[in-house]
Amino acid sequence: MKPITFAWPELLWLLVLLPLLVLLYVWLLRRKKKAAVRYANLGMIKEAMSAGANFRRHVPPVLFLVALALLIVAMARPSATVVLPSQKQTIVLALDASGSMRAKDVLPSRLEAAQAAAKQFVADLPAKAQVGVVVFAGTAQLVQPPTNDREAINAAIDRMQLQRATATGSALIVSLATLFPDAGFDVSTAVFGREAPRNAPIGDAKKDPKKDFKPVPPGSYNSAVIILLTDGQRTTGPDPIEIAKLAADRGVRVYTVGFGTTTGEVIGFEGWSFRVRLDEETLKTIATMTQGEYFHAGSAADLKKVYETLNSRLSLEKKETEITALFSAVAAFFTLLAGLLSVLWFNRIL
């Protein structure tokens, strides 16, 4: 757990005054005791020195001292990492529709299991969350722009049709273009499923040169995330690692989900037979680069658990927040309590 930090830590030096106040309090008590012995009768002294009175007389000052310490800490403007409701408003689901998703090692099939899990994930999201759907195989296409219309999202997921090849890089660049429509991403590679020229600046070809882009820390963009689900490895389109770098530069987290086995399986599709193997290394690299997280799901039940975990990740998030108000409120409470007890017990305020 990250420790509490302070915007103005130099103010914490004021805490050294508290022991001086304790010494002053003890000195005043002794002085008051001598005066009481000098002028009071024996009955009053016994009453004043009773155990209950002795204990109660110290409670309000101690509470006030605690309040003063909390107020000094509040003045230093403390910040801490706390769990808060997520502010992420947009989630782009990039779903694999390559031929390998026809495999029935997950019943009724990988595709149907993925569709069911995705729709349940969408249903469990907060009502205000907007979801976009990108479907990819040899090419990638935005089939549903971000919306909070759950019926439209589910319809887009149900319309998935299997095709040849797997273009994970294309899926990522289309997802980024969905989140940043004015960034000038060149999505032609994703649309036509062609390899990008080696020296081509992917994602920057159409950008207005007057608008200089400055990278931000990975994972710092809190308004949207991308969830990429695939059961194979890239066979066409741009390198997904290069596109992940673009996502990292814009602070977008990419959560990757590997669906299937790492050993591979022979799949028949449209008269072709081929072995599909999950590329966990690439998916882990994408997640690490963007400060996201990688999940592996080997079955429909696993995939459901993955989406449940993702939902909890996206509904709540850890965020560094200034907690000055919290310390101030607690300090005010102790001050009021000290004053109230002093009035009730001694008919005076401290």
User: Is the Cα torsion angle 83, 227, 89, 322 positive or negative in sign?
Assistant: positive
Q: Does residue 194 surpass a pLDDT of 70? A: no
Parallel, antiparallel, or unpaired: how do β-strands 140-147 and 130-136 relate?
A: antiparallel
Return the exposure string of 13-36: e unless at least 16 CB atoms fall within 10 Å of the residue's CB, then b.
Answer: eeeeeeeeeeeeeeeeeeeeeeee
Mean pLDDT, rounded, of the chain: 82
Q: Does residue 248 surpass a pLDDT of 70? A: yes
Q: Which residues, 6+ apart, have CB-to-CB distance to 101 below 8 Å?
A: 109, 110, 111, 114, 162, 231
Of residues 140 and 260, more confidence is placed in 140
Q: Does residue 41 surpass a pLDDT of 60? A: no
Q: Does residue 57 surpass a pLDDT of 60? A: yes
Q: Does residue 40 surpass a pLDDT of 60? A: no
CATH class of the structural domain 86-298: alpha beta
Instruction: Provide the pLDDT for residue 266.
Output: 58
Look at 102-106, 251-255, 261-265, 304-308 and tell me which has the smallest mean pLDDT.
261-265
Share of the chain above pLDDT 70, in %: 78
Q: Are 240 and 169 in contact (CB under 8 A)?
A: yes
Q: In the chain, what are the domain boundaries?
A: 5-80+322-346, 86-298
Structure confidence at residue 328 as a pLDDT band (50, 70, 90):
very high
The first and second tokens of residue 200, run together, are 């081509």
Instruction: Provide the pLDDT for residue 171.
Output: 95
The first and second tokens of residue 209, run together, are 């040169």
Averaged pLDDT for residues 25-48: 64
